[in-house]
Structure 1
Amino acid sequence: MKENKNTSQNKKSLFLLSRGNRLLFSREIKGIAISLFLLLFSTVSFSQDDSLNKQNDSVNTSLIRTFNKKLTVIEGQRISDSIKRVALESQLLSLKTTDNLKKEELQKQLQSLNEKESKRLTEKKAQIDSMRLTAKGYPVTGFFNDTLFTIYSKLGSFSAKDRADAISTRIKTLSDHYSFKADSLKITEAETTVDLVYGESIIMSVSENDALWNNSTKSVLAKKYQTLIDEAVDNYLKETSLTTLAKEIGLALLVLIIMGILIKYVRKFFLWTASKIKHQEGKRIHGIKIRNFTLFDSSQQVNALLNINTILKWIFILLLVYIALPILFGIFPWTKDFAGTLFGYILNPLKAIIIGFWNYLPNLITILVIIFVFRYVLKAIRFLKDEIEKGNLELSGFYPDWANPTYQIIRVIVFAFMVVVIFPYLPGSDSPIFQGVSVFLGFLFTFGSAGSLSNIIAGLILTYMRLFKIGDRVKIGDVVGDVIEKSLLVTRIRTIKNEIISIPNSTVMGSHTINYSSDAPEKGLIIHSTITIGYDVPWKDMHQALIDAASKTDLVLQEPKPFVLQTSLDDFYVSYEINAYIKEPNKQAVIYSTLHQNIQDICNERGIEIMSPHYRAARDGNTSTIPANYLGKEYRAPSFNVNFKSTIQDKQ
């Protein structure tokens, strides 16, 4: 009999659900007609929120469905015990008054069932208490989608969600009854539920599980729901009356008029500022200069200010529209929820930023303290570097020119260590995306700077090898010039032709380097030049001539004295090499040129012909190339003999 009653109630509930949906649809059409233009621009945002709500709803449905299965098992035991109780009570009534033993046995069985019922209620309540923290239930909404109360448990074949939707629909049908009054909604007790009834329609049923979910009894909970439903219907009827709608439309028009007036004056204000900006061109607006560089001339600065003025104008206009729309949404009851949503688009991010900043403040303070400590560590290291460079602090085996590159290396290491210490305190440092991007950037740096890293390492090695310094005259490969820059990547050389040549440090490491300046200030640099003279010039005369020419040359040191080396005795001439000491290797080209001029002058003055004679095999009649002082006074050049034999007679 109970099963038939539940079946009839389910059919009746389904009928009310379908009828309520039709009535709800017709009423929502009215609301859409009033506020359609206010909803269009929010479609995308609300659709995103709806997808998120669906995802959360599926999780909640799974939790409640699992819990309701447990309650179904307990409910099945309760029904079985109820059937037994009815049977025992009927047997007890049918017993004769003299059958005391049988009567006592039946009473014990009834007491056992009552104890099981009490235990069952305790177990059910404990499970509901454990689920109350995680399960959210399904809201029963009023006329403006405001939540009246929440349904957690199923009833018969209806799930918790179906019950909530059906109750919401039935409540919204109450507004179609113009004779509805607060006392029209009655509370009636059924066999296992307490029902809220309007006329002949059951609006909802409050079960034992509903009462347990709300820590109440069925009667008290039904009374609470009755009050909430009465208030919702009364508020809806008041807010949708013709008088209220007329007031709301008037307020909406007033808001639109005020917004239009404000936009008009905002545009006028920014037109006035634009004219002022144009008027100040050449007067107060002269452009922007950074030392000798003109960043903006006056016309460019005016155009930039006008663009900023236009952007600010549209920002203010959009801000006015954004403020006005929630006010319009808040006027009409159908769109009140949208007002909070629109304000939430700005207020929620601002709130999240403020809360996030507040929560991050301890980490930020930690980072600032770390930066402060490392800053003064670097200052201390820099102080030591400056003292070493000035010569005030001397370290054995550590040269002053090593101070700056060593400081730069230590600085990079300190910065790297500081980043490692700070990294865990950065926002999002635990995020896999953040870590993945860091690893990716590390790979890019490693593979993209392979050549640069080799040059940097070579630059560091060159620094500590002290091959040369700024200003030295060097020869690297085939390049000769003065070093004008040493960096971690390249070495730059200025040639005597004023050419700037950049040589990668890895190339410098891979080739031989000649430094003309390293020992020149102390030991002097030996310049040398070779001249070839025939054997007929005495070597002593040639030696003296070359030494005299070197001594007359500017910037050539008199001590140590210049000297001559005979580097070879060739077939037709002797090679003489003049060597002289100088202390200014950067002026070698000028010194060589002056030396060669002096050699020419001295040789010409002393009758020494600068030439390298070459001889053929026929030497008859030629003077010997041996110097005259070695030949003696009686030496005569041999005559050149020609044997001529006439052949004229033979021809005749």
Structure 2
Amino acid sequence: MSIKSLFTFLCLLSLQCVLYAQETKIDLKGYPVIAHQDTLFHVKNRLGSLSASERAERTSEKVTRLAEDLLFVADSVKIVDDSLVTDLVYKGNILISLSKADADSVRMDKSVLAKTYQQIIVKNVKEYKSETDVVVLLKRAGLGLLILLVLGAAIFYLNKYSNRFRAWISVKLQKRIGNIKIKDYELINKRSELLLIGRLLNLLKFLLIFLLIYITLPLVFRLFPWTKPWGDSLINFVLNPLKNIFSAMINFIPNLITIVIIFFVFHYIKKAIKFLAEEIETEKLKINGFYSDWAKPTYNIVRIVLNAFMLVVIWPFIPGSNSEIFKGVSVFLGLLISFGSSSAISNGVAGMVITYMRPFKIGDVVKIGDTTGAVLEKSLLVTRLKTIKNEIITIPNSAILNGNTVNYTSLSVNEGLIIHTTLTLGYDIPWQTIHSLLINAALATDGVIKEKQPFVLQTSLDDWYVSYQLNAYVDKPEIMALIYSELHKNIHEAFNEAGVEIMSPHYQAIRDGNASTLPNQTS
């Protein structure tokens, strides 16, 4: 047997079980005998060729027709007993035949059951005939007309005095109310406020009129047997939802208690973890290999995980969580979040990785891509830098993770940050002079660490000039641009005072091969 065939067989078997269960449930309760909108009794068993439903339907029709007999006499409904069945008969017409199985199904003697059914049928017919009596109907029609007149008068006076009350309340509130403001913003002015109050009073008036009509109509409809079901329906339109809501609230109380207990358990677990995170962040509690700046982001991650787990635990106890609509909305929201937030998720993951990589801290001066500035904010999705031009640059964390980050602050305090600048000068200037001038210019610059000697590197020997790189130690990377500016100024002044021209010479010369550009060596 293939998997498809097996699956089809199981589905048919399940459907058969459901149908059998429903049929069993109906059979146990029986089929109702209904006359004049009232359920008299139930028929549960077959009799001869007639099924239980056919017997109930036939009996309902016969009992209903009894009320059409203008000369109906209650004593004419008689019980006729024989060896097999007991019949309820009216003028030779069998209303229902009762067997021993019928009596056993309700645990009564057959004659007692017949007597009970006889009383029920007679009572139903008498009540219907009394309700449809001409005199009774005229009295009820008069009563209904009186109820409608009272309703009309109530609506008339409600409308009249509501208008007067609205005018009176407007005059009283004219001097007492003021403009509604939120800080400096005027949300509602005085005129709009009075207009809003007037419309609310109008709405209340129409709600009261609707309520009066809705209460009156069932009273009128229930006066007559033909319209009585309409009145019951109008009442049930209100009572059934209220009953269902109240019943659902009562049934939800155990689940609500469970949800509250689960909520408080997770709440205090999160409070305990938050306390540990604060202790680690303030370095009152130290854990080897766990840095203090990890405490807060770790707590945030744990809190999100705990909240998600709490929602999973609470979910089965939420009313309607098993409904198809609830499941469909949940799937839709899940797909919406998955497809619509892929970049946000990648930035969030990158933010967590950056947190535990610790490439920089708040306040560090860093260079990310082409942007240099102080770290102003680190969040799960983005990092913000403040440049020396007072610009706030927002950089997605995924871009930081995929690129290179230069941190100028991490070693500047203890070892010092080396700043460097390059000059190109001709071969005719002695390198000792250039070294001396550059080092003195660096030592004269504010922000350069004097205890650590600046040094010069000759980085290249080009065709017409030499490249000299000045290196100096600083410990304040946040003012690095100012240090560079002053350093360049000092180099300029030092070379001017020494009579050395800052120039990269380019030669075009015809030589005989004997002259040289080497500087004269002094003994």
- What range describes the TM-score normalised by the shorter chain of this pair? 0.7 to 0.9
Give the aligned partner of residue 505 of structure 1: 397
Deviations 1:185-230 (A, max 9, x none): 3444456444444445444444444444444444433333333333
Asked if the contact 1:282–1:298 (Cα under 8 Å) also holds between the matched residues in 2, the reply is: no
Asked if the contact 2:383–2:396 (Cα under 8 Å) also holds between the matched residues in 1, the reply is: yes
Asked if the contact 1:287–1:295 (Cα under 8 Å) also holds between the matched residues in 2, the reply is: yes
Give the aligned partner of residue 140 of structure 1: 33
| 1:549 pairs with one of 441, 461, 478 | 441
Instruction: Answer yes or no: is 1:587 the counterpart of 2:479.
Output: yes
Instruction: Answer yes or no: is 1:328 the counterpart of 2:220.
Output: yes
Aligned residues: 504
Displacement of 1:627: 4.2
Asked if the contact 1:60–1:135 (Cα under 8 Å) also holds between the matched residues in 2, the reply is: no
Instruction: Answer yes or no: is 1:520 the counterpart of 2:412.
Output: yes
Secondary structure in 2 matching 1:605:
helix
For 2:145 and 2:158, how far apart are their aligned partners in 1? Answer: 20
Give the aligned partner of residue 635 of structure 1: none
Give the aligned partner of residue 64 of structure 2: 172
| 1:240 pairs with one of 110, 128, 132 | 132
Asked if the contact 1:535–1:626 (Cα under 8 Å) also holds between the matched residues in 2, the reply is: yes
Give the aligned partner of residue 296 of structure 2: 404
For 1:471 and 1:278, how far apart are their aligned partners in 2? Answer: 62
Displacement of 1:405: 0.8
Structure 1 residues 367 and 187: CA distance shift in structure 2, 3 A: closer
Q: Percent identity?
A: 49
For 2:23 and 2:262, how far apart are their aligned partners in 1? Answer: 49
Displacement of 1:476: 1.9
Q: For residues 469-618 of structure 1, what are the structure 2 equivalents within 5 Å?
A: 469-618=361-510
Instruction: Answer yes or no: is 1:287 the counterpart of 2:180.
Output: yes
Displacement of 1:331: 1.9
For 2:156 and 2:137, how far apart are their aligned partners in 1? Answer: 29
Secondary structure in 2 matching 1:331:
coil
Q: For residues 193-592 of structure 1, what are the structure 2 equivalents within 5 Å?
A: 193-264=85-156, 266-267=158-159, 271=163, 272-273=165-166, 276=169, 280=173, 284-289=177-182, 308-430=200-322, 434=326, 438=330, 441-442=333-334, 444-592=336-484
Secondary structure in 2 matching 1:334:
coil
| 1:185 pairs with one of 61, 77, 84 | 77
Q: For residues 14-29 of structure 1, what are the structure 2 equivalents within 5 Å?
A: none
Asked if the contact 2:27–2:44 (Cα under 8 Å) also holds between the matched residues in 1, the reply is: no
Displacement of 1:283: 5.2
Using structure 1 for the length normalisation, give the TM-score. 0.68
For 2:161 and 2:477, how far apart are their aligned partners in 1? Answer: 73
Structure 1 residues 182 and 459: CA distance shift in structure 2, 3 A: same
Secondary structure in 2 matching 1:537:
coil
Deviations 1:143-178 (A, max 9, x none): x32123333344455443343333333333333443
Code of the residue aligned with 1:518 in structure 2: it is S
Code of the residue aligned with 2:454 in structure 1: it is P
Displacement of 1:407: 0.9
For 1:300 and 1:516, how far apart are their aligned partners in 2? Answer: 60
Code of the residue aligned with 1:544 in structure 2: it is S
Secondary structure in 2 matching 1:424:
helix
Displacement of 1:533: 2.1
Code of the residue aligned with 1:136 in structure 2: it is K
Code of the residue aligned with 1:182 in structure 2: it is A
Displacement of 1:557: 2.5
For 1:293 and 1:396, how far apart are their aligned partners in 2? Answer: 54
Structure 1 portions without partners, runs of 5+: 1-57, 64-130, 633-652
For 2:128 and 2:28, how far apart are their aligned partners in 1? Answer: 30
For 1:348 and 1:59, how far apart are their aligned partners in 2? Answer: 29
Asked if the contact 1:534–1:613 (Cα under 8 Å) also holds between the matched residues in 2, the reply is: yes
Structure 2 portions without partners, runs of 5+: 1-18
Secondary structure in 1 matching 2:300:
helix
Asked if the contact 1:454–1:506 (Cα under 8 Å) also holds between the matched residues in 2, the reply is: yes
Code of the residue aligned with 2:466 in structure 1: it is V
Using structure 2 for the length normalisation, give the TM-score. 0.84
For 1:400 and 1:588, how far apart are their aligned partners in 2? Answer: 28
For 2:190 and 2:449, how far apart are their aligned partners in 1? Answer: 62
Secondary structure in 1 matching 2:215:
helix
Asked if the contact 1:138–1:151 (Cα under 8 Å) also holds between the matched residues in 2, the reply is: yes
Structure 1 residues 388 and 238: CA distance shift in structure 2, 3 A: same
Code of the residue aligned with 2:485 in structure 1: it is S
Deviations 1:27-85 (A, max 9, x none): xxxxxxxxxxxxxxxxxxxxxxxxxxxxxxx989966xxxxxxxxxxxxxxxxxxxxxx
Structure 1 residues 539 and 209: CA distance shift in structure 2, 3 A: closer
Deviations 1:242-301 (A, max 9, x none): 222122222222332333344445545765458846985795242252x56666666666
Q: For residues 59-98 of structure 1, what are the structure 2 equivalents within 5 Å?
A: none
Greater helix proportion:
1
For 2:252 and 2:511, how far apart are their aligned partners in 1? Answer: 105
For 2:416 and 2:110, how far apart are their aligned partners in 1? Answer: 113
Deviations 1:320-373 (A, max 9, x none): 332222222222222333333332222222222222222222221122112112
Asked if the contact 2:457–2:470 (Cα under 8 Å) also holds between the matched residues in 1, the reply is: yes
Structure 1 residues 393 and 626: CA distance shift in structure 2, 3 A: same
For 1:554 and 1:469, how far apart are their aligned partners in 2? Answer: 26
Secondary structure in 2 matching 1:364:
helix
Structure 1 residues 202 and 628: CA distance shift in structure 2, 3 A: closer
Displacement of 1:528: 1.3
CA RMSD of aligned residues (A): 3.5
For 1:149 and 1:449, how far apart are their aligned partners in 2? Answer: 62
Displacement of 1:538: 3.0
For 1:61 and 1:358, how far apart are their aligned partners in 2? Answer: 27
